[in-house]
Structure 1
Amino acid sequence: MARPGTHRLPLLLRAVPVVAAAGVLVAALLAPVAIGAGTVLARASTGVGATTTGILDRAPDAATVVTDATGAPMALLYRRFRVPVGPAGIADTMKAAIVAVEDRRFYAHDGVDPQGLARALVSNAVRSTPLEGQGASTITMQYVKNQRLYTLADTAEERRAATADTLARKLTEVRLAHRVEDRLDKDTILARYLDLVYFGRGAYGVEAAARTWFATSAADLTVPQAALLAGIVRAPATYDPIDHPDAARARRGQVLTAMTEVGSLTPAQAAVARAAPLDVVPDPALPAEGCLAAREGTGFFCQEVVDRVTAAGLDLATGGYTVRTTLDPRVTLEAREAARDAVDADDEVAEVVSVVAPRPDRRPVLALAANRAYGDDSAAGGTMLPITTAPLRGAGSIYKIFTAAAALERGLVTPDSELDVPERYTATTFDDAGEDYAVENLGTYDDEMTLERALAESPNTAFVALLDRLGSVDPVVDVARRLGLRTTLAAPGPGGRPLAERVRAAEQASFTLGPDPTSPLDLANVAATITAGGTWCPPTLVARVTDRAGRDVTPPPPPCEQAVSPEVAEQLRRALSEDHVDGTAADAAEDAGWDGSMIGKTGTTQRSASAAFLGATDRYAAAVMTFSLDAPEPLCADPVRTCSDGDLTGGSAPAETWFDLMTPWHRGTDASPEADEDED
């Protein structure tokens, strides 16, 4: 019976007495046809064993739901809109209606109704009428046909064979129906059929139909609603209640009459249901599908999840999975608002924010947000570029972190070591295509400063000189990869060569100044690795994937690694602790009222074509990048825009966004968003 809240009927699903089947007559009727078509019988038997396995064990395609960390849906993915719910998820009203109109002897036969089949075979043989009529197909046989059509058929030829009006197809269905009945109980067969069959307007299965036609669930269908849906099954286009309301109402009446005839309804109950309006939704439509239709502000995160899970081998469009992500809805909302406050979405400039939790044993991604929408309408500020995760623009002087880390690992410096800071420096170990490689500082600095001060004030010459002391760019590239720059360094460039390979081969000294395209998510994870004692963990967007049976099928992430020793990580934390105090991010920190401890580093590329800020506390690690969307162009600040002579820096819009976002979260525990609560 239906669970509480569904419509119970006193006589619902009453077993219908079996009319005595004339076995001898059926055998006599079947014999001439079979004898005259021995090859048909042989053809019908071929492959039945293999097909039986698919009919019984292969699940039909179903929609996948993607949720945030709280379990709230943010996107649906499907090829056909189907949401299987099983016997417990379907109201008794619906079960009674479909049995009454499609197969009133369903609970008594063994998968084949001899009377109906005999009528159909004789009529087909004598008058060439279609085999589908006159009760030839039981619900079990219809389940077999629909399973072959929607689940097993991969080609147009296989789909034609599954619906061909031939004796061979009908006899195949008879054999398969018997095997289904041998393995499954009646309630399971009925639910599988209702979860599979087409109800019009793109709705496959009764749950999808209930949502599409009535904005309700299959478990809560009323008698008139169930009767309407049961009537639609026979010919969804003919009985479409929007396009053909009179035909739909008449068909619903036929179903209600059938329900009274079999005892599922009393005449009085049927009369009440017959008088009810069709009451379907005015404009029935399928729910929006895919990440383009994801909940506002979650599209970039959704697409990254889909790409990663699909790459792991799961078909989200057909698998019926539940993908619970690590996305924190509050962090995402506030990150998006901060980016939009900083950079107008109508201009051709993107500002992106990637936020991860720097846990020592895993690295959940809490937000991938941007001032722009995820979408294909560029005029409305949309873009489908993976701007929050892909390496599109440079991060500038943030890369000086990697040169510092390599020097710290080799014991060449400590945070307190004094570095020379000449106005101009010509490298002794590196060149620029055969010419001297020389850099100049863009501001005025002391002649000497500690590594800690150098990272805060960011003079170029001190870090190229430090790279000279290392003697090669290899250790810098290596530590950059270990700390988290993995997508960035693996990204292919000209000729398909990864960035790491190109930088190493060319001994590219400019690597320490960060001109190369960089993933914002990679940057956030670099900060998290340093904060987490030097432990790198893969940035994880998926907390759990379960299949339709509730089994955990989460693709396993790569294991965490000790990227640098805890001692080097602590030295890096100390060396990066002054940028917000009296370094390049100090003004942004002061304006936001920041008074906590943190690590931070700004970065700006040549001509201000892009700018970035990386920062982290023990609770959050985040990177903010600002860049022109279509092509590298100079950017100006106040307001942020493309211009002919850029002046945007990492200490302006990117740092301002970071501190505007983080300051309220660290002002007190009551005001701070909760970290994601994804289950282990």
Structure 2
Amino acid sequence: MARSSSPAPRLKRAPLWRRRLVLLAQLGGGLALLALIALIVTVYVSEGQLPSFDELKSSPNGQMIRVHAADGTVIVSMGPSYGEWLPYDRIPAVMRDAMVSVEDRRFRSHPGVDPIGMVRSVQVRIERGRWMQGGSTITQQLARNIFLNSSKKFGRKVREGILALALERKFSKDQVLELYLNKVYFGGGAYGIDAASRKFFGHGADHLSLTEAAVIAGLVKAPSNYSPTADIDAARGRAGVVLKLMQQTGAITAAQAADAQVSQIAFVPEARQNSVRYFTDWALPQLELLIDETQRPLEVWTTLDLTMQRAADAAIRENAPKGAQGALVAMDRDGAVRAMVGGTDYVTSNYNRATQAQRQPGSAFKLFVYLAALEAGHKPEDQVVDEPVTIDGWSPRNDSRHNSGAMSLRTAFAYSVNTVAAKLGQEIGFSTIADMARRFGITTKVNTHPSMVLGSSEVRVIDMTRAFASVGNKGVAVTPYGITKVTASGETIYAQSVDTSHVLVAPYVAAEMTDLLQTTVNTGTGKAAQIGRPVAGKTGTTTSNKDGWFLGFSSGLTTGVWMGRDDAKPIAGLHGGTAPARAFAAFMKVAVANRPVEQFDTKVTLPEFELEPDQESYFGEADNGLFVDADGNPVDPGQAPPAQQGQRVDADGNPIETRPPPQSDTPPVEKKKGDGDKLDQAWLDRVLGRDGPRPAPSPTRAPADRQDSRPTQ
């Protein structure tokens, strides 16, 4: 009889959720293993691609620019600065310990990435609602500084971690720390502890004290906030925090921390900026147009003449009226800017009035009026009539408040006669004059109202100087430039070339204009600009003495000077022929001292009202004589009574003979019934010495310059 068999008992299967959990764990483990393998492979690949230690030592952070004057002197360094590279064993232990304590206290134990630090960073983020700690190790910071940027994206953090692991595999801890301390940014353009030590303490980093090391270590977190040059108290406070951290990590004892006198840390004062920065602020932005090198350190060679720059700075400082500013630009006949001053003090105000400020030029603008007239066929000897004139409701007046009748263009220009300039503008066309100004390099807007002939359009000093330089260059365009050569790694990547092919006016027009300009200096409103050699120039004064100008050239150098207040308020006694002309003379005497005397193409011819073409009139110094009474005692010209006639003496007290200067830019006129406006023949006879003994001059002296008056537009 067959026996029945019972079925074998079935194994009880695990619940579905548990099976899925196991599967998920296996999958996760597999993915983690793959990720770990990928990480290891990536680290190994990255390690193989890393530069060598020596290559990393030589690679710069950012682009450094050193600017040289014309003689090769380094006048300013821009961008990052680097001190001496200090090997690990020359870095003071207090500096190494301070940096490790404040930036990465587990530096010696982690493989480049600190998991504990990362967890702590996340925990603080959860507790405080924002990121307070980055969790980056010193090695990660080094990787970021050398290879990456400061983006806070997740992908950048991953690459940073991989590179940190690769760096620690390739280099020892000591090498990583050496790289870090010599390359990290400490603010103020200083990279590395040696550059920072020299900037803030005036000595190399191999002599750092405990407190000094604490200051430098504290800068890494926020260089701009804790920099001693920005906030000394903040720098000292941060150093105190570093000292406490060093005590906590055992780098220093409690006694050492207590003995450290943070309040006694001595800092080197910030180097005082001087007027050279006006020039570099103008010249260096041009690099973007000249070159496309953005990585290698640059050596920039400029046109700046340091002797001229010092003379320019002194001329503006010593001659600018109290409360006024001044600007000066000097350029050679090829356009090379040799000196530039944009104000009386760069530290107080770095606003460059030589290149940025737009001010009315007054009668200095008549350069373009007379250039247009000469190009249209007029000659310096042409006769014009100084008489009342009204143009479109505008009636210009002369400073003397009267008109002198017929005169030559030379006389009208020398004495800056406004009515003649207005008549020339009406004849030639105001738009023609505006075109002439733009042709000669005026880049600001030029209006075509009748009053434009007296300088109602605002201009820049550098543009006006350029225009006068083009006249002095025989009508060939002069383009100002400040950079002659740029080199990178010893390779010349830019060299200036001067274009002399652009002719603005015919040479004879430029020569005739120079003829008029030298007359102004020799006997007109610009006599204070005489320097003992031929000078051609023009004064300019605006309404209510708000602006004073003098622009001129001699021995191949053209200089423009402006003075006035930034708020355009009037300045008592400011005329183009006073302070600006004196500043011009003070500068030019130094600037052209070693240059040969150059004669102009046209010999100086004096205007009708001052016919005394002797050597002294042409080459003599500006008249700075004093008044004395009959007994030889000095007389104050402002207080002497009219009856107190005296003789003038030079600086040594010797009597000097000279005619009485005219009281304005226009000659005296004697009004007689039926004769109209005629020259006073008796006055001319006295001036020319035709009437016997010359009467002693009145103690009241004429001003060196006149106000080129015109209605305010």
Tell me the TM-score range normalised by the shorter chain: 0.5 to 0.7
Relative to structure 1, is the Cα distance of residues 173 and 118 closer, same or farther in structure 2, using a 3 angstrom cutoff?
closer
What fraction of aligned residue pairs are identical, expressed as a percent?
22
Partner of 2:424: 466
Q: 1:408 aligns with which of 355, 364, 374?
A: 374
Q: Is the 8 A contact 1:332 1:369 kept in 2?
A: no
Q: Secondary structure at the match of 1:635?
A: coil
Partner of 1:61: 62
Is 1:658 the counterpart of 2:584? The answer is yes
Q: 1:364 aligns with which of 321, 337, 343?
A: 337
Q: 2:32 aligns with which of 30, 36, 39?
A: 36
Deviations 1:435-458 (A, max 9, x none): 434323223564233333322111
Q: Secondary structure at the match of 2:389?
A: strand
AA partner of residue 635 (structure 1) = I
Deviations 1:175-210 (A, max 9, x none): 5888x99xxxx9999986554225699953244234
Deviations 1:581-600 (A, max 9, x none): 111122x246xxx3311111
Partner of 1:334: 311
Is 1:605 the counterpart of 2:542? The answer is yes
**In 1, Cα distance between equivalents of 2:40 and 2:423:** 81
Q: Secondary structure at the match of 1:636?
A: coil
Q: Is the 8 A contact 1:482 1:564 kept in 2?
A: no
Is 1:424 the counterpart of 2:388? The answer is yes
Partner of 1:388: 354
**In 2, Cα distance between equivalents of 1:539 and 1:224:** 50
Alignment map for 1:13-412 (pairs within 5 Å): 36=32, 38=34, 60-61=61-62, 64-72=65-73, 74-75=75-76, 77-78=78-79, 82-84=80-82, 89-92=84-87, 143-148=142-147, 152-153=149-150, 155=151, 157-158=152-153, 169-174=160-165, 193-198=180-185, 203-212=190-199, 215-217=202-204, 221=206, 283=265, 288=270, 295-309=273-287, 321-345=298-322, 347=323, 349-358=324-333, 360=334, 362-370=335-343, 372-375=344-347, 382-410=348-376, 412=377
Q: Secondary structure at the match of 2:412?
A: helix
Q: Secondary structure at the match of 2:307?
A: helix
Partner of 1:532: 473
Relative to structure 1, is the Cα distance of residues 71 and 332 closer, same or farther in structure 2, using a 3 angstrom cutoff?
same
**In 2, Cα distance between equivalents of 1:483 and 1:119:** 64
Partner of 1:447: 405
By how many angstroms is 1:351 displaced?
2.6
**In 1, Cα distance between equivalents of 2:482 and 2:41:** 49
**In 1, Cα distance between equivalents of 2:559 and 2:341:** 10
- List alignment gaps of at least 5 residues for structure 1: 1-31, 103-114, 132-136, 255-273, 376-381, 428-434, 490-498, 638-647, 672-680
Relative to structure 1, is the Cα distance of residues 118 and 84 closer, same or farther in structure 2, using a 3 angstrom cutoff?
closer
- List alignment gaps of at least 5 residues for structure 2: 1-27, 98-107, 123-135, 222-234, 598-713
Relative to structure 1, is the Cα distance of residues 517 and 40 closer, same or farther in structure 2, using a 3 angstrom cutoff?
farther
Q: 2:414 aligns with which of 436, 441, 456?
A: 456
Deviations 1:335-383 (A, max 9, x none): 22222322344x2x2232222222x3x422422253x3234xxxxxx43
Relative to structure 1, is the Cα distance of residues 300 and 214 closer, same or farther in structure 2, using a 3 angstrom cutoff?
closer
**In 1, Cα distance between equivalents of 2:187 and 2:194:** 13
Q: 2:435 aligns with which of 478, 481, 484?
A: 478
Partner of 1:261: none
**In 2, Cα distance between equivalents of 1:230 and 1:439:** 67
Deviations 1:151-174 (A, max 9, x none): 522x3x24x765x6x7x7533544
Q: Is the 8 A contact 1:356 1:539 kept in 2?
A: yes
By how many angstroms is 1:391 displaced?
4.0
AA partner of residue 144 (structure 1) = A
Corresponding pairs, count:
521
**In 1, Cα distance between equivalents of 2:315 and 2:87:** 50
Q: Is the 8 A contact 1:139 1:193 kept in 2?
A: yes
By how many angstroms is 1:395 displaced?
1.0
Alignment map for 1:480-629 (pairs within 5 Å): 480-486=437-443, 489=444, 499-500=445-446, 503=447, 507-546=448-487, 549=489, 551-552=491-492, 559=499, 561-586=502-527, 588-589=528-529, 594-629=531-566
Deviations 1:616-671 (A, max 9, x none): 1124211121223213x33321xxxxxxxxxx321222212212332355566699
Partner of 2:621: none
AA partner of residue 60 (structure 1) = N
Which is worse superposed, 524-533 or 197-206?
197-206
* Higher RCO (Cα < 8 Å, 6 or more apart): 1
**In 2, Cα distance between equivalents of 1:46 and 1:409:** 76
AA partner of residue 572 (structure 2) = C
Q: Is the 8 A contact 2:67 2:77 kept in 1?
A: yes
By how many angstroms is 1:69 displaced?
3.9
Relative to structure 1, is the Cα distance of residues 146 and 667 closer, same or farther in structure 2, using a 3 angstrom cutoff?
closer
Is 1:634 the counterpart of 2:570? The answer is yes
AA partner of residue 36 (structure 1) = A
Relative to structure 1, is the Cα distance of residues 250 and 173 closer, same or farther in structure 2, using a 3 angstrom cutoff?
closer
Q: Is the 8 A contact 2:140 2:160 kept in 1?
A: no
Q: Is the 8 A contact 2:342 2:352 kept in 1?
A: no
**In 2, Cα distance between equivalents of 1:245 and 1:519:** 55
By how many angstroms is 1:485 displaced?
2.1
Q: Is the 8 A contact 1:398 1:614 kept in 2?
A: yes
Deviations 1:37-95 (A, max 9, x none): 6457769999999xx899999953355455544455555545xxx4246xxx5244657
Relative to structure 1, is the Cα distance of residues 529 and 191 closer, same or farther in structure 2, using a 3 angstrom cutoff?
farther
Larger radius of gyration: 2
